[in-house]
């Protein structure tokens, strides 16, 4: 039952993912959450995020930002990055995960999702047939509804750690 919320990998930061290795495995599309995945909640794209997307494009990845935030937030974050994006995505609904793949010209086998929340990001990705990487939130300051979900996530991650031998991957 809980396994439908388990990510395929769990790491401390988006910025420590070996994207070269992911490309070698055949992935060509990357879908990213924004807040607490790439930058602290509500922050603009910083130099680290801008450099990451430049590197990903050079590697040959197509990228899409998939966010439950509104157009103003997502489009302003995307200005210096210039990738596909979908705002007001209604994650964990699968509709916009599929739309992101269409925009990037990828499919379930060649697309990877990266996000910081189990019950929206990872669950939606799994429902859409995608591999997913859960990252630890960048900053502890979050909206109240997310704080409440984090308590439930701790329970799921407890069992995930037991299944994987107690380690992040």
For 86-110, what is each residue's pLDDT tens digit? 999 999 999 999 999 999 999 999 9
Q: Which whole-number Å values give the CA distances from 34 to 89, 99, 115, in the listed order?
A: 12, 17, 8
Q: How far apart are CA 159 and CA 37, in angstroms?
A: 22
For 3-42, what is each residue's pLDDT tens digit? 777 899 999 999 999 999 999 999 999 999 999 999 998 9
pLDDT of residue 4: 75
Q: Structure pTM?
A: 0.85
Q: How far apart are CA 74 and CA 94, in angstroms?
A: 19
Q: Could you please state the CATH topology (level 3) that the domain comprising 2-163 is classified under.
A: Rossmann fold (3.40.50)
pLDDT of residue 2: 64
């Amino acid at each position: 039952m809980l396994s439908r919320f388990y990510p395929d990998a769990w790491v401390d930061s988006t910025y420590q993912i070996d994207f070269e290795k992911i490309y070698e495995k055949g992935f060509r599309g990357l879908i990213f959450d924004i807040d607490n995945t790439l930058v602290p909640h509500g922050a603009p794209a910083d130099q680290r995020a801008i450099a990451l997307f430049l590197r990903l494009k050079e590697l040959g990845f197509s990228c899409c930002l998939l966010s439950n935030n509104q157009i103003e937030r997502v489009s302003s974050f995307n200005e210096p990055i210039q990738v596909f994006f979908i705002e007001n995505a209604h994650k964990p609904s699968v509709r916009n995960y599929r739309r992101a793949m269409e925009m990037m010209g990828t499919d379930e086998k060649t697309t990877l999702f990266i996000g910081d929340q189990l019950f929206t990001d990872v669950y939606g990705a799994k429902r859409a047939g995608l591999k997913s990487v859960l990252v630890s939130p960048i900053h502890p300051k979050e909206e109240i509804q997310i704080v409440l979900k984090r308590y439930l996530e701790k329970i799921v991650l407890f069992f995930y750690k037991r299944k994987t031998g107690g380690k992040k991957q």
